[in-house]
Amino acid sequence: MKNLRLTFLLICITISIGFSQPPADPDPNGNGGGNPTVPISGIELLIGAGCLVGIRRSLGFLKGFRKSS
């Protein structure tokens, strides 16, 4: 099971590096690189999923707590 988790983690890291945004093109005026915009929609999805899991676990804990009282 530990090897499966490690393999999954390495695959995820490899895929995320492969889809990463390339550096911005240099400014034609010679002022260096531009200001690349990076979408963070994936972060919002992870935060939302984490909140849903937390709510679900909290409700399960409260149901178990009420039954034992």
In this predicted model, what pLDDT tens digit does every residue of 23-66 receive, in sequence order? Answer: 666 666 666 555 556 666 778 888 889 999 999 998 888 887 77
Residue with tokens 């178990």: 64
**How confident is the model at residue 32, as a pLDDT?**
57
Given phi > 0 = left and psi -120 to 50 = alpha, else beta, which region is 30?
Answer: left
Q: Is 1 helix (H, G, I), strand (E, B) or coil?
A: coil
pLDDT at position 7 over 80: yes
pLDDT at position 14 over 70: yes
**How confident is the model at residue 52, as a pLDDT?**
94
- pLDDT band at residue 21 under the 50/70/90 scheme: low
Whether the Cβ atoms of residue 21 and residue 39 lie closer than 8 Å to each other: no
**How confident is the model at residue 18, as a pLDDT?**
77
Q: Is 68 helix (H, G, I), strand (E, B) or coil?
A: helix
Dist. CA 17–CA 7, nearest whole Å: 15
